Amino acid sequence: AQKITQTQPGMFVQEKEAVTLDCTYDTSDPSYGLFWYKQPSSGEMIFLIYQGSYDQQNATEGRYSLNFQKARKSANLVISASQLGDSAMYFCAMREVFNDYKLSFGAGTTVTVRA
Amino acid sequence: DAGVIQSPRHEVTEMGQEVTLRCKPISGHDYLFWYRQTMMRGLELLIYFNNNVPIDDSGMPEDRFSAKMPNASFSTLKIQPSEPRDSAVYFCASSPRTGGIQYFGAGTRLSVL
């Protein structure tokens, strides 16, 4: 079964607007962590933001915020005030204690920011 | 602080040749991971080490693949003999602790002709 589902293969967003990337996950582990990574066209994987399953508040890092809805098992990434440099592939990932803390990645969402 | 350093960035080789990919983790990180990224299969964990010891190599596709970590600052992933289906981007990542954030290197793009 797919542990991480990213249903949007590609998205377009206008510069300076906000964009939400969907991520749903499947786990029976009460202790887990959710991550978002950015992969620009240059290829590197850049860590963006982390949310722990017991965290009470949604994580934020600059223009990135994570909309964590535990009951719905969703961990959507919100990028505010999009910039041209935000054009990239974005991956959602989960680590579970049950899985020896190994990361499971989604298929990714490509974001293209238009000027 | 230097991040995870991988070399080479690009490797083109012929089928049957030996390929060695190299990784230097972030200093002080106890965990090192090797991943492979392909269009068909996405990102797959191949193997990971804790304190230089291989913990889980269940993702290594076959015996042609081997990985070593002789010390805390260096790891290699070797493919011998290489095949065209091994063409992919190989990432190394390191983490300071169990379950911690994994920081990735820039990757090695391998093409086997």
pLDDT recorded at residue A98: 78
pLDDT recorded at residue A18: 97
What is the rounded distance in angstroms from the CA atom of residue B52 to the CA atom of residue B71? 6
pLDDT recorded at residue B2: 82
Give the tens place of pLDDT for each residue, A10-69: 999 999 999 999 999 999 999 999 999 999 999 999 999 999 999 989 999 999 999 999
Q: Which of B1, B11, B43, B94 is the mutation pick for testing A, counting most A CBs within 10 A? A: B43
Which residues of B are less than 8 Å from A95 in CB distance? 99
Backbone angles phi, psi at A25, to 5 degrees: -135, 165
Mean pLDDT for B88-107 is 92
- The 3 state secondary structure assigned to A20-57 is EECCEECCCCCCEEEEEEEECCCCCCEEEEEEECCCCC
Both tokens assigned to B87: 């063409």
A44 and B104: CB-CB below 8 Å?
yes
pLDDT recorded at residue A101: 78
Pick B50 or A101 by higher pLDDT.
Answer: B50
Peptide bond into B70 cis (omega under 30): no
B1 — pLDDT class (breaks 50, 70, 90): low
Closest chain B C-alpha to A72 CA, distance in angstroms: 23
Give the tens place of pLDDT for each residue, B20-51: 999 999 999 999 999 999 999 999 999 999 99
Q: Which of A5, A35, A44 is the mutation pick for testing B, counting most B CBs within 10 A? A: A44
Closest chain B C-alpha to A34 CA, distance in angstroms: 10
What is the rounded distance in angstroms from the CA atom of residue A66 to the CA atom of residue A51? 7
Interface of B with A in 19-78 (CB under 8 A): 33, 42-43, 45, 48, 55-56
What is the rounded distance in angstroms from the CA atom of residue B98 to the CA atom of residue A66? 22
Give the tens place of pLDDT for each residue, A59-99: 999 999 999 999 999 999 999 999 999 999 999 999 988 77
- For residue A1, is pLDDT > 70? no
